[in-house]
Amino acid sequence: MSVDFKTFVSLAPSVSAAKLPVLLRGRHGIGKSQVVYQLAAKAGLPVVERRASQMTEGDLVGLPSIEGNRTSFNPPDWFKIACEEPVCLFLDEVDRATLEVRQGIFELTDSRKLNGHNLHEDTIIFAAVNGGEHGEQYQVNEMDPAELDRWSVWDIEPTVEDWLAWGKDNVDSLIWDFINQNRAHLEHNADIEPNKRYPSRRSWDRLDKVLQQADALEASPAMFNLAQSFVGFEAAVALNDFAKNYERIVTVEQLLNGERVDALAAMSLNEHCAMIEKLESEEICKAEFSDNHVTHLAEYFVSLPSEAAMKLWSVISQAGVQENVVKFHGANNGAVGSHLSKILGA
């Protein structure tokens, strides 16, 4: 059974704190590596990352040295660090490694040592693979039951909300708003055609960086061509079309300050729903409303179609701030309460 990143992040630290290795399985580009780095940062540990797919047996166990009649193995620099100080040891692409390397990792996950060299007692181990239920799409090796038995295995199937929560502080608002309103373009979940470019969570992050670097965050041939190179033709067309109309999109700040009222009135139902989702994702309703914000939210509420109005009411009432609910319900001389009663009585 798969879990989302929110669930994984809440539970995986308990596994690593018990000094047991953690294995993430999932599709490419969903953010497995990023979440490992985030967990390491929360634990205050530097990350020592190695791609198992590029390692030889010597890269893993070290090279032998002979002193008299005794042969010992000198650990490689990365493993020596993990033995001498607490780190997050991150082994990526384990299921693309050679059998010899994986057998060495077997000892590492089983006894926390290699060739007599013990990991630091506070070093934690994470790994990531593309196998599991998505393995048939990739050129990977199957991991047998005994191998998997050494790991705490997590099949990751992230939600769009996972990406939106991360993207709020990490990508430009144009990209964030586009994904929020065009969620099917975040990533490709159907069968994959060979040699065709598809969007992924990773590719949107990279495209965002390039568009900012090129100052190409407006509809243009440059935006389309750059987007096509990262997320494929269909997503590039959709993004460029979205960008053409982006200037007329109202921000949360403008809504709360009572600005661009005409633009709000011209919005479609989908655009209203996207605005309300942005209010929720930015946790606006979890902070106490100012009188000014209550007034403008109330004006917005009574202008909404019934479906969007009920969505906004749910976001406010479920945010857990009772004072906001009371103030909002009675706002504008009871206009909100009257409109709500009218919708519920319809």
| C-alpha–C-alpha distance, residues 265 and 159, integer Å | 31
pLDDT tens digits along 14-63: 999 999 999 999 988 899 999 999 999 999 999 999 999 998 888 887 77
pLDDT tens digits along 258-275: 988 888 888 889 889 988
Cα dihedral sign, 259-261-266-269: positive
pLDDT tens digits along 274-311: 889 888 888 888 888 999 999 999 999 999 999 999 99
Judged by average pLDDT, the poorest of 75-84, 207-216, 239-248 is: 239-248
The length of the chain, given as a count of residues: 346
pLDDT of residue 51: 94
pLDDT of residue 346: 55
Q: Higher pLDDT residue, 311 or 116? A: 311
The type of residue at 198 is Y
Tokens 């079309």 locate to 241
pLDDT of residue 81: 95
pLDDT of residue 314: 92
The type of residue at 158 is P
pTM: 0.70
CA geometry: angle 311, 248, 205, nearest 5 deg: 80
pLDDT of residue 60: 84
DSSP for 53-89?
Answer: GG--HHHHH-EEEEETTEEEEEPPHHHHHHHHS--EE
Show the tokens assigned to 266.
């011209």
pLDDT of residue 345: 75
Whether the pLDDT of residue 245 is over 90: the answer is: no
pLDDT of residue 156: 93
Residue range 5-155, CATH number: 3.40.50.300
Q: Assign 205 a pLDDT band (cuts: 50, 70, 90).
A: very high
Ramachandran angles phi, psi of 92, nearest 5°: -95, 155
pLDDT of residue 173: 87
Within 10 angstroms of residue 206's Cβ, the number of other Cβ atoms is 14
- What's the mean per-residue pLDDT of the chain? 89
pLDDT tens digits along 138-150: 778 888 899 899 9
